[in-house]
Structure 1
């Protein structure tokens, strides 16, 4: 993603209504991804945890939006301080930004860039929530989001995309968030679950998705929103790079679905809807950092590799005993690592930049840069996220009680249930009116509510 700072220079480009409108649409598409994620995760949990899973994503829309305006945009995209963080007082509260002031070197207003980036910041902690299904106090989760975006996401976004950020200056390619979003969230998920432990009944009780249609709906909406996430990250489409990213997003995702399903058929004997949905997300994750640097043939290769290896990776939790409830580590961490590293193999040098991968005569230079970015973000997010979870767990507590977890976190945390089965079996409400103490006669008469 092109970084920059605001400028009022006389030779600054003129505002483009087309690019501004395009970026506003892309921002709305990325916003859609958070409720889409809520549906995707919500269908994968058991009935008694559905609403909590939805709320763990939705609350990010409130918390991160406010923090982004107050100081998050300044920390991520303000003037560089030591190559590790940004800060610009004009960005605090978005109060010092002119309505028509353009993002440096681009034809869109600073406000548009800020809101586009806000949607990324909202989505990233929501991704973490899938690993923690069924067992986390909602208040603790909300506080974790606020702390995590402040000390992990905002700094890492500056490293990767901010002008002067050390990974950006090194030349690490991350078109739309392989490191800053997916590795960041996946490593954080692993750090937190190592602290809070397993669900009651992990590897013993059945924990199958309660609504695969909801999972498929969420996956389809994520796929749709991802076009804004990826293609919009070029901040315009004057040179066709955004169009290449759009095509590669579709191509890699389709290839990943095929790769995941093929592995699933060979390994388990069936093509599952959950596998198709998970394969799509794995492909979307893997192409996110790479899609602006590779050809469509490279995108196919990345998609197939991600589909197969992420399908293999989701089973590691049973082997190593960490309870990644909805496969955030297996899909987002592994997919993000794969997509980021594969840039070092498949970059053509003819789209986003002139950097070439190993298969196009570029040697190991770009692969080395990608590896530094991958493991720097992974290590930082893993350690700091685990530390945050540890502090919260030892102070206010991260987990609900075992009894509350078994009885259902929806009722305990939200005093609601996702589905009302009290009227199951009837299409209309049936009512009877009787005098006190009398016995009602059976009736099939329908009474309007």
Structure 2
């Protein structure tokens, strides 16, 4: 009779790697997986495959497994065994300098050759020949100061978020030879001059997003049109374009530099100052821009006789605060045969919300448009929606359009279960 050790050995040999992988996949913690990897070479290989499929993206100092609040000693053991299999790390520093330094050193030591995405929050560090990530393609920096001595990495995506102050020479003012996408969010000290220098060093950019950076002016558009003409995607949010001007010529002069972006497919001017409705269309048509998505805050035309050029490539139109007339909307849809989605967004009180929704939904019903074409979004600031008003909107919206009403101040006199049952067409948040 075989002894226990021989029997166990025989059983393991009878199992193929898929069976062992299924067993390891049922382990509840990454520490159990780590211990299993030490049984033998086959277990090590199967544990590695299991780790790669379950934990290639990890969060440190969060409630997300496997690392979460894991003690550093255990984390170091896991990184030593599986760090080369991790492709993405998001790390919020503990604000304990010694502990944070140890964690960063472990990340560099065990992940530097294969890590593709790194997001760091509230930790200042240096990138040099000793502290470098050879495969890094995506870098996100949140409320952190970094010093770049050398950066020999194939970086394609850079996120810079939440800076109240910046040095006179910020760390990101440099050439990134492979950079394709650049994101700034709430970098309050960011200036037009800084971005002009950055754009001049990185003309190859294809995607640019600037969100809530209060130091910007419309001069930014001149720099964009001059230096980053390869852009395919441009999003700018909350930028004061002008001081309440209704002059169409002035509006056109402001965004005229976008005419140089001959590859631009997505132009999103989100919650900025109003632009005359026809102006973005004129800029795109005059320069043959292949625009597919257009979002902006529209100043409604004063009459329906205004000529809006047709953009043959346009698929998605999103208007903020855009009370466009029914006649203008009907003509617009007729001319844009590639159109797949129209989103109209409003900030109104309860009475105006009901009136607006009824007007547009009645038009959609009358014209019998495809039920995927329209989406109406309302932010309601006061008043209340009675039950009969709710059902009036629902009846018009059902199988015709999606309506969302976000209530900031006010109330809706409809039971929650009724609202949940009908949220596909009328969603109250």
Instruction: Please classify the TM superposition score into its range, dividing by the shorter chain length.
Output: under 0.3
Which of the pair has the greater relative contact order for Cα pairs under 8 Å at 6+ separation?
1
Higher strand proportion: 2
Higher helix proportion: 1
TM-score with structure 1 length normalisation? 0.22
Larger Rg: 2
